[in-house]
Structure 1
């Protein structure tokens, strides 16, 4: 058992991200992003070493690195949005995921001919083919994005790609995920970190000292209250 744990730890340590650990390096900018999208859009801080813990039935078997350090996480927020969609469903705010988004949250980018067919399910499954800009960031920024578990794209990341009908084409596109976040913000009419803390984190017994931070310019006003639209894809 101990040897297996050590092999797992060693594997994690040897497969650290190639991204710089320091903000003054390339940290926070996707290595394949072409101009004008290769710039930071929100706050970051230096990250620590590869860290982790292995626990079974609540008993910690081993740790490595600095597991108590507050560090940045990124695409895990896609799961946060999926959980919040579930909360919205349970609260009656989102009774049908196959309903077009524009019906419950009009005037936030789903009303034109192409985007009118986009449903909540399309956004959650990354098949929306939503077209537009999210606080100045175009969906084109993630066209032809390569992911390890899918076939290589036929174009270069950031090149304009012909759009397909919503629901018919899968693409890992963070701008569209962020548009899902904006739609959920308008659905709840409350800051999503506030809802997430109340509905998910506190009932789960999680800590209170975490933040979910949006892009510097990603602010809207809803019911007279200024709120930040947080990203689900970084």
Structure 2
């Protein structure tokens, strides 16, 4: 490891999140929700130290912390739902992303004049304006939610009854709507999503560290006459995905390679291109990934970079042009760009 890289890793490790290591406050994001939804519905566990791994041109340059520890990854799970949607697309289960979801998944909450116009494309771009309750939580709790990565500012108080518009007209980061997408994908595959993810992603990518994708206490649902767990696309209310930084890096390398890993096409190049198309009403967002095409997301990252981001915070940074995959876990979200700048400097010094 060169001197510059040593300094970079030391800097990243100095940017530890303020979240506790044992799930005592401050920890998580559920406590910011309006009651009675400011609680956990699924299991959680303590976290490890600042951890990560850096690959450049398919060579591992560095690892730090506990890169093999399976840690909660919060909203990075959203991106994994997008990968499952891509698998459904590649397998012909989801022939057209612009098909209304109700046509393939009747009876799960897409009925009605406006809701029946919601397509897979809307759900994947978080522009669906879906209305309802999923896994016992109404989507209103995440209306007016605002993230630092969005431009502008919130127009109301989180949880207020914002009037809903036509599907596709507004971007809103909403974890209940994400859980509704997960439910729809469960009905599409008719198999528990963790099983599908294990078979078609983790195994081909050689992921070998501990992994789990857990649901809520009220998450069991009927699919094809069988009881199956509908898993959340994050850990907002507990549950979700626990995965190691090293296994996240393997997934990142497949994404960097336009769906290819060790000579095997795990996901189609076409789907990877679709994922990276900017949303019309939120050009910083694709299919459940954050884009940096105008540098507004992270000014020191290349415009070709894109990200999966989870609270806590957990960063998967993929750049196909730079041939870079960088995983950073449990860093202070406000210092993400500083960490990126250090990585870029150390690559320049090689």
TM-score with structure 1 setting the length: 0.93
**Does the 8 A contact of 1:29 with 1:39 survive in 2?**
no
Between stretches 178-187 and 197-206, larger displacement belongs to 197-206
> Partners in 1 of 2:57 and 2:201 — Cα distance?
21
> Residues 24 and 113 from structure 1, CA distance in 2 versus in 1: closer, same or farther, beyond 3 angstroms?
same
Give CA deviations for 1:108-153 in whole Å, capped at 9, x if unaligned: 0000222111000000000000000011111111111111121211
Query: How far apart are 1:203 and its partner, in Å?
Result: 1.1
Give CA deviations for 1:155-201 in whole Å, capped at 9, x if unaligned: 12112211111111001111111100000000110001111111111
Between stretches 99-108 and 209-218, larger displacement belongs to 209-218
Query: How far apart are 1:66 and its partner, in Å?
Result: 1.9
Structure 1 or 2: larger strand share?
2
Task: Give the gaps of 5 or more residues in structure 2.
Answer: 236-350
> Partners in 2 of 1:184 and 1:17 — Cα distance?
33
What does residue 220 of structure 1 align with? 221
Is 1:183 aligned to 2:184, yes or no? yes
**Does the 8 A contact of 1:48 with 1:66 survive in 2?**
yes
Aligned counterparts, 1:77-116, within 5 A: 77-116=77-116
> Partners in 2 of 1:65 and 1:208 — Cα distance?
15
> Partners in 1 of 2:163 and 2:10 — Cα distance?
43
What does residue 168 of structure 1 align with? 169
Count matched residues.
234
Task: Give the gaps of 5 or more residues in structure 1.
Answer: none
**Does the 8 A contact of 1:88 with 1:188 survive in 2?**
yes
> Partners in 1 of 2:112 and 2:61 — Cα distance?
54
Higher relative contact order, structure no. (Cα contacts within 8 Å, ≥ 6 residues apart):
2
**Does the 8 A contact of 1:144 with 1:157 survive in 2?**
yes
**Does the 8 A contact of 2:31 with 2:39 survive in 1?**
no
SS at match of 1:24: coil
Between stretches 57-66 and 94-103, larger displacement belongs to 57-66
What does residue 71 of structure 2 align with? 71
TM-score with structure 2 setting the length: 0.63
SS at match of 1:212: strand
Query: How far apart are 1:57 and its partner, in Å?
Result: 4.7
> Residues 39 and 31 from structure 1, CA distance in 2 versus in 1: closer, same or farther, beyond 3 angstroms?
closer
What does residue 307 of structure 2 align with? none
What does residue 233 of structure 1 align with? 234
Between stretches 83-92 and 9-18, larger displacement belongs to 9-18
- Say what the alpha-carbon RMSD is for the aligned residues: 1.8
